[in-house]
Structure 1
Amino acid sequence: MERISNYQIAVMIILFQIGSTPLFAIGSKAKQDSWVAMIVAAIIGLVLLRMFLYIQSIAPDQSLIVLMRICFGKIAGGLLSCCFLIYFAYESMRNVRDFGEITNVTLLTRTPKFVVMLLVIVLAAYMIIMGIETFCRVAESLILPVLFSYGVLCLLIFGSKLVNIERIQPIMEKGFKPILQAAFPDLVSFPFGQMVVFLMFWHLMSDSKKLKRISVLTYLGVAVFLVGMNMINVLVLGPSLIGNSTLPFLQTVQLIQVADIFERLDVFVTLLLFLGLFVKLAAFFWAAAYGFSQLTGCRAKLSICFVGAVIFASSFLEPNYTYHIWLGLAVSVKLFPIFQILLPLAMFVAILLRKLKKNPPSEDTQA
């Protein structure tokens, strides 16, 4: 069995969690408090992460598919595993569609989007067929350019004197309720709750003893970064403009002008968007294909080809990009907690009940 090093799993968590999140107007319902909503969502996500890690700890060398069978039995566990695979494939499909639509709008305006989407799904399939180690090495090669690019863009934003601290004031003007409504379920579902997919990756770690420490510390670092990026968007554009923007960070970067040299840097934002989307769609693709292979006993390459074909075909079911965005931000995020919260919580309860049956309280304890 292929293994993932501690550094590789940390890199995977960083790139997966960052993904395309800093580029979108998430949490805009809370207006100038969107960054506070992000903090609240990150705290809820941390609780979920701890629950995921506890579930993984009962069988450190097993994936989510086996863990479901342990918790719910062979039949019920198998059926619920199928539901998870559909969820993973759907998440991958959404990223494939995003990739095609945004490429068609920003870079390759004359290229049919189905060509771009076909190329990206074939590229992801090829990488996955080569093995999880290849996937992780690709992620390792991307981590420094991604972090460096975000760092440079943030410095240039502050260097252009675009930041206005008054745009995040007054803080909590309308109380905590709007913040909580923005945080749950939307921000919890995307991106923090998506960490559930790592129940398909963690069992491949070469050193499972450091799993909790690495995962939690990496998660906290990314959460701080995402809160900071959200705040930058608000400080530059203001809550009103963000609420009407599809890609606020792209608009922010378009405003950069430093010494008449550094300007029109939106191409870097587009490339960051593509890298983030690719890592995320490939991670969900791999989880769906690997899980399908485990569940059915099908050969890995056949599973990858079959799941890839399903993802590609289903990415055309939505009639247009407006409908795609509406379905994702208004409908899907309301359903994702079923897989990110309810089912993992049911697993958590099942594990506790099993432990209580095996180790009932002694008479001395009851007394």
Structure 2
Amino acid sequence: MIILFEIGSTPLFALGSSAKQDSWIAMLAAALFGFLLLLMFVTIQRRAPDQDIIGLLRLCFGKMAGTIIGISFAIYFAYESMRNVRDFGEISNLTLLNTTPKYITMMIILLLASYAILMGVDTLFRVTEALLPLLAISYGLLIFLISIAHLIHLDHLLPVLENGFKPVLHAAFPDMVSFPFGQTIIFFMVWHMLPEQGKVKKLSLTAYTIVSLFLILMNVINITVLGTTLAANSTLPFLQTVQLIEVGDIFERLDVLVTLLLFLGLFVKMTTFFWGAVYAFAHIFPSLRKATWLVIVGSLIFISSFFEPNYTIHVWLGLRISVKLYPLFQVVIPTLMFIVMLFRKIQTPQATSDA
């Protein structure tokens, strides 16, 4: 789930393009910082293994303050889901379904996600378990074909650190930390459900390391094939990379496969954030059933996805504005939680009743 979630919509964008040929170094730096963040997240979870993010916030900051911050987290999850719904609509309109209205595809994907959430989180995880081999084989095939098609030009990565570390650090922090690496904050809604809590740390960090290396590789491929200028200005850089594949007059025009892979990644990320928002609101306001919150949150996501007038503003808002605010949820608040748990003995309600 972590692997598919982190891949999500990430291949859509030329992340770290401001660092030019060093964008892969910026992604590496962001991934390392994200690894430390995830390590902090699982450490917090281990102190209260039966609590989700709402319960952890109440334990650290008190019921009133924890509830208020919890509501802001639920809104944040819903906002992230909305962005993926809009991405889904825009990509389908740009690639496969040019004449189909965006609101139709966006409504369908929301209904599918709602059905998955209604069936329970175990159903969603079984879907990702089935999808992972498919995505791994497909991306592996595409990378292999790009390699044998002689599209990769390693000289596009030179000179390394031409302008020093400043552009790299500027590209990595906070933008690339916020998206995609810091988004693992959503797994606070998942970890407490695992029957074997002892495996949370190992599984999470292993999966994160695998997907981080994959995303760095994808960044390198886009730069070495397209060059820094074309990759930075391309609407869908990896899609444009795959469109260049021509092997033996047999393997070509594989952009449909890329689009389907992006759809699968978007669906997993969108549904996970949607699920997190629904369950967070249901925890905060238990007087309403989860099914009711599913309808409320889903409706708000669908309506708000049309607030941005076009795709250009949607991308600008996401990659230039929103990523500056995400560290509040991904770094600042979790760090305060970690400090509180470090200097104060936290006891969960379950532990207190057992005592």
- TM-score, normalization: structure 2? 0.96
Which of 121, 124, 137 does residue 113 from structure 2 map onto? Answer: 124
> What is the match of residue 345 of structure 1?
335
The superposition leaves residues 36-91 of structure 1 with CA deviations (integer Å, 9 ceiling, x where unpaired) of 00100000001100111111111101100100000000000000000000100000
Residue in structure 1 matching 2:297, options 298, 302, 307: 307
Match of 1:363 in 2: none
* 1:305 Cα deviation after fit: 1.3
**1:194-216 C-alpha deviation (Å, 9 max, x unpaired):** 00000001111110001101111
Q: Hey, what's the Cα distance between the residues in 2 that align with 1:80 and 1:62?
A: 15
Question: Does the aligned pair in 1 maintain the 2:82–2:270 contact within 8 Å?
Answer: yes
Identity %: 57
In 1, distance between residues paired with 2:40 and 2:161? 30
Which residue type is aligned with residue 320 of structure 2? Answer: A
5+ long unaligned stretches in structure 1: 1-11, 357-367
**Do residues 326 (structure 1) and 336 (structure 2) align?**
no
1:189 pairs, out of 175, 178, 186, with 178
Q: Find the counterpart in structure 1 of residue 219 from structure 2.
A: 230
- Give 1:1-367 correspondences, 5 Å limit: 12-297=1-286, 298-355=288-345
Letter in 2 for 1:341: V
The DSSP-based 3-state class of the residue aligned with 1:327 is: helix
> 1:359: which partner in 2?
none
What is the aligned-residue RMSD (CA, Å)? 0.9
Aligned residues: 345
State the AA in 1 paired with 2:88.
Answer: F
Aligned-pair distance for 1:261? 0.6
The whole-number CA distance in structure 2 between the counterparts of 1:22 and 1:316 is: 23
Structure 2 runs not aligned, ≥5 long: 347-355
- Residue 238 of structure 1 aligns to a residue whose secondary structure is helix
After TM superposition, which residue ranges in structure 1, 4 or more long, deviate above 3 angstroms? none
Contact 2:9 2:84 in 1 (8 A): no
Q: Distance in 1 between matches of 2:35 and 2:281?
A: 28
Distance in 2 (alpha carbons) for counterparts of 1:221 and 1:350: 31
Query: Distance between the aligned counterparts of 2:317 and 2:121, measured in 1?
Result: 31
2:250 match: secondary structure: coil
TM-score (norm 1): 0.93
